[in-house]
Amino acid sequence: MTTFPNLIGGEWTMGTNSVPNVNPSDINDIIGEAASATADEMNTAIEVAHAAQAGWGTSTPQQRFDVLDTIATEILARKEELGELLAREEGKTLPEGIGEVARAGQIFKFFAGEALRIPGERLDSVRPGVEVDMRREAVGVIGLITPWNFPIAIPAWKAAPALCYGNAVVLKAAEAVPGSAWALADIIHRSGLPAGVFNLVNGRGSEIGPVMIDHPKVAAVSFTGSVQTGRSVAQACTKNLKKVQLEMGGKNPMVVLDDADLDVAVGACLNGAFFSTGQRCTASSRLIVTQGIYDDFVAALSKAVSGLKVGDARDSATQIGPVIDERQLAKDLEYVEIAKAEGAKLACGGEKIDGKGHFMTPALFVDTTNDMRINREEVFGPVATVIKAKDYDEALAIANDTEFGLSAGICTTSLKYATDFKARSKAGMVMVNLPTAGVDYHVPFGGTKGSSYGSREQGRYAVEFYTTVKTSYTQA
């Protein structure tokens, strides 16, 4: 039996409890048994991380570069194999799985480079003969809580900057995807990083999450997950005066204007709404279409959605894999019923597929209005809606009329509208003629309103969260 142990202080441990890692494409396929840590194990990991951070925090840029570059090189070299494990345990298609692993490798390459250019500043003091310097220092032990939908890329985009800037890490990955987290931990463990600087402590979030968040030796917490859990993480962190960063849900609009290239718009909406089974916080779940192109768009998109091939994630013909688990599938199907009950018209899909895994046909609703629950609440599945708008101004207003603000898109051939949308969209990320999901690894990621809290992740902006600034005054 394959096991996915935790890594605490440089030692692998299965602890006392374990849970099966189940393939969502075929629930009879048990990938392995994953350690499920106790509160005591979480406490131990934090203590060892705290002890190890002192040394790593004073390591040289060269040492950090070497470790991060070694990790990156191995991830990239094994992207097919790790991508297959990811597809098997998470259910995204093989090309998506391999692409995600490659992204994780690129992120480590990027932060290997950043370790050589950790920024600082020097200014003359306002007092004569005094100079001031400002340097970026590690924060300490960082707790990372990551979701199941990007099992390797999200742990990578939190762990790589954490290590780059001299912090120690305790990673709690989602219970549904322990294999990818274990594979990443294994690569990090063999990279030359001193023992205890990176720890993997998987387990039940309700049991070990609060231990991490309340522990006085955890200085900061970076979380990606649901709005509800994110709110409680933020409250506990602020109560304990910890630094906190949250990435949560979305109800991302994609505006399609009369002057859009129809093929570009259908392609962007199909990808944004349904790829990765719609299980992306950046998914385009509200397609806001102006009246002149509405009928053509609905006809073309319905045809494309009905033609999507749903199946086993690792089958090369599959375009849409399974939903992650039984609970999420029940939630997705419940939203299909909620939408029907509110008067949304089902153009296609929305049905459970009987089989070995958690499958449903991708659902497209048309003739919906923005006040319906299906347009207010995040589903996190292969369900999207179309909303008709009179013109650009009304489409923009509908796009911004949401509690969320992660990503927003527009399909248009007009420079005027594209420029205006970039300026007036209230989202943190804006896409023109591109899907709302699928972002670059070297630029900031994050949103506004109920989607995000704290400073941005990724790219050079990650320095804000993973460092603290020290200002020193010197009189020669």
Interstrand relation of 120-124 and 130-138 (parallel, antiparallel or unpaired): antiparallel
Rounded to a whole number of angstroms, the minimum distance from the CB of residue 378 to ligand UN1 is 11
- For position 275 contacting ligand UN1 by CB under 6 A, the verdict is no
User: Quick one: 199 or 224, whose CB is closer to ligand UN1?
Assistant: 224
Smallest distance, ligand UN1 to C-beta of residue 82, A:
17
Distance in Å, CB of 146 to ligand UN1, minimum: 9
Provide the minimum distance between the beta carbon of 296 and ligand UN1 in the complex, in angstroms, as a whole number: 27
The residue among 170 and 283 lying less far from ligand UN1, judged by its C-beta, is 283
- Smallest distance, Å, CB 447 to ligand UN1? 10
Structure tokens at 90: 């998470």
Stretch that binds ligand UN1, among 19-27, 257-265, 278-286, 351-359 (CB under 6 A): 278-286
- The span from the CA of 181 to the CA of 464, in Å, is 25
> In the complex with ligand UN1, which residue's Cβ is closer, 93 or 290?
93
Going by C-alpha positions, the residue among 447, 377, 462, 425 that lies closest to residue 164 is 462
Site string for ligand UN1, 321-340 (x = CB under 6 A): --------------------
The interface region with ligand UN1, picked from 73-81, 255-263, 385-393, 431-439 by CB under 6 A, is: 431-439
Q: Which is nearer to ligand UN1, 139 or 439 (CB)?
A: 439
CA distance 280 to 286: 14
Shortest Cβ 250–ligand UN1 spacing (Å): 8
Stretch that binds ligand UN1, among 129-137, 279-287, 349-357, 371-379 (CB under 6 A): 279-287
Q: Which stretch binds ligand UN1 (CB under 6 A): 185-193, 280-288, 323-331, 364-372?
A: 280-288
User: Is 253 among the residues that bind ligand UN1 (CB under 6 A)?
Assistant: no
Tell me which residue of 378, 373, 382 sits closest to 350, measured CA to CA: 382
Nearer to ligand UN1, 109 or 280 (CB): 280
Taking CB under 6 A as the binding criterion, the range among 143-151, 187-195, 234-242, 330-338 that sits at the site for ligand UN1 is 143-151
Catalytic residue among 90, 96, 247, 378: 247
Judged by phi (left if over 0) then psi (alpha if -120 to 50, else beta), residue 376 lies in: alpha
Contact between 382 and ligand UN1 per CB under 6 A: no
- Binding-residue total with ligand UN1 (CB under 6 A): 11
Tell me: does residue 224 bind ligand UN1 (CB under 6 A). yes
Part of the chain binding ligand UN1 (CB under 6 A), chosen from 38-46, 277-285, 289-297, 342-350: 277-285
Tell me which of 439, 452, 458, 467 binds ligand UN1, using CB under 6 A: 439
- Nearer CB in complex with ligand UN1: 191/224: 224
Nearer to ligand UN1, 100 or 258 (CB): 100
State the nearest-atom distance from the C-beta of 244 to ligand UN1, in Å: 16
Q: Which is nearer to ligand UN1, 92 or 388 (CB)?
A: 92
Active site residue 247: yes
* Residue 78: exposure state from Cβ atoms within 10 A (0-12, 13-18, ≥19): middle
Instruction: Examine residue 280 and tell whether it contacts ligand UN1 (CB under 6 A).
Output: yes
Write down the residue that tokens 């840590």 correspond to: 37
Question: Which one of residues 48, 281, 366, 372 is an interface residue with ligand UN1 (CB under 6 A)?
Answer: 281
Sheet holding 141-145, edge to edge: 11-13, 6-8, 198-200, 168-172, 141-145, 220-224, 243-247, 452-453
By DSSP bridging, strand 383-389 and strand 284-290 are parallel
Q: Which stretch binds ligand UN1 (CB under 6 A): 287-295, 337-345, 384-392, 432-440?
A: 432-440
Burial state string for 82-101 with b = 16 or more CB within 10 A and e = fewer than 16: bbbbbbbbbbbbbebbbbbb
List the interface residues with ligand UN1, window 145-164 (CB under 6 A): 147, 149-150
Interface mask toward ligand UN1 for 386-405; x: CB under 6 A:
--------------------
- Quick one: 111 or 392, whose CB is closer to ligand UN1? 111
For binding to ligand UN1 (CB under 6 A), which residues are involved?
147, 149-150, 224, 247, 280-282, 437-439
Catalytic positions: 247
